[in-house]
Amino acid sequence: MESPAVEIVDLVKRYGGRTAVDGLTLSAGRGAVTAVLGPNGAGKTSTVEICEGFRKADAGTVRVLGLAPTLPELRPRVGVMLQSGGVPPAMRCAEWLRLVSRFYAHPLDSGALLARLGLADHVRTPYRRLSGGQQQRLSLAAAVVGRPELVFLDEPTAGLDPQARHACWDLVGELRGSGVSVVLTTHHMDEAERLADHVVIIDRGRVVAEGSPASLTGAERQLRFRARPGLALEELLNALPAGSAAKESPAGHYIIEGQVGPELLATVTAWCAAEGVTADDLRIERRTLEDVFLELTGRELR
């Protein structure tokens, strides 16, 4: 059987006394987009940089395309986009991509790739004069120019304007359509929901949940609002139809699940009015990955 694109078991990484990755286990399938979602400092970059062969694990096993991550034979097969930098500041945009392309046997046409990513007008611009978003796109181009089997993208859309973000998302979709395995890190839940076949939510160096975006968020809708902490939810539940559920997580954030419709909405707002409570940010929606993260960790994703 073909090995997964990435297989990580019980990975531990420490920096001095600080544990950045704390027994992390995950698997990224071939030909799929896997999103590693978590807040800053969750251990995303450490994990990815161990997979890229830049750092050594303190414990656990990591296999990339079935091989130890530092093996030289992986270099042509794996494309890498660092979170930042990696390009000489004086190097011109097209010059850098052409240079990187010449390290590979069957590279993409660097001019066409730059055009595809909206950089055609900047081929002669030195890297340091590109905007942050343009620098990101150049790094993305360099990650895919060698036609790799697997691409690691560390926060590929950080600092991008909405248009450039969509260009990046389209490219990731196209990579997936061509059979390239993609592992990306992000702290944008919309990015993970939109791009990923498989989402791994990590916090404090551990996996707290994983699955497809739909399986993580569930199909049911919920009513959510914010109000002062400590409302007497048992009373509210008495007023709601049987089978409803109400919870406060974290303090001041209320979630009502059940037959979410006009009747339930009316009951909740009436109850709040009777209690003298102002319900802020009242909305009906499907759960998002952000909600899942908040519920699992009690903290905001960003």
What are the residues binding other proteins (CB under 8 A)? 52-54, 72, 75-78, 80, 82, 84-91, 95, 99-100, 102-106, 108-109, 111-113, 115-116, 142, 144, 146-149, 174-175, 177-180
In the complex with other proteins, the residue whose CB is nearer, 3 or 249, is: 3
C-alpha dihedral sign at 118, 121, 127, 132: negative
The residue to which tokens 């007008």 are assigned = 121
In the complex with other proteins, the residue whose CB is nearer, 85 or 250, is: 85
In the complex with other proteins, the residue whose CB is nearer, 115 or 270, is: 115
Which pair of tokens denotes residue 196? 């990923």
- Please state the closest distance from residue 52 (CB atom) to other proteins, in A: 6
* DSSP-based three-state secondary structure for 135: helix
- Please state the closest distance from residue 122 (CB atom) to other proteins, in A: 16
In the complex with other proteins, the residue whose CB is nearer, 43 or 148, is: 148
In the complex with other proteins, the residue whose CB is nearer, 110 or 222, is: 110
- Please state the closest distance from residue 35 (CB atom) to other proteins, in A: 19
Residue 88's nearest CA partner among 31, 22, 135, 46 is 135
Residue 183's nearest CA partner among 37, 290, 3, 60 is 37
- What residues contact 15, with CB distance under 8 A and at least 6 apart? none
- Please state the closest distance from residue 150 (CB atom) to other proteins, in A: 8
- What residues contact 132, with CB distance under 8 A and at least 6 apart? 159, 160
- Please state the closest distance from residue 177 (CB atom) to other proteins, in A: 8
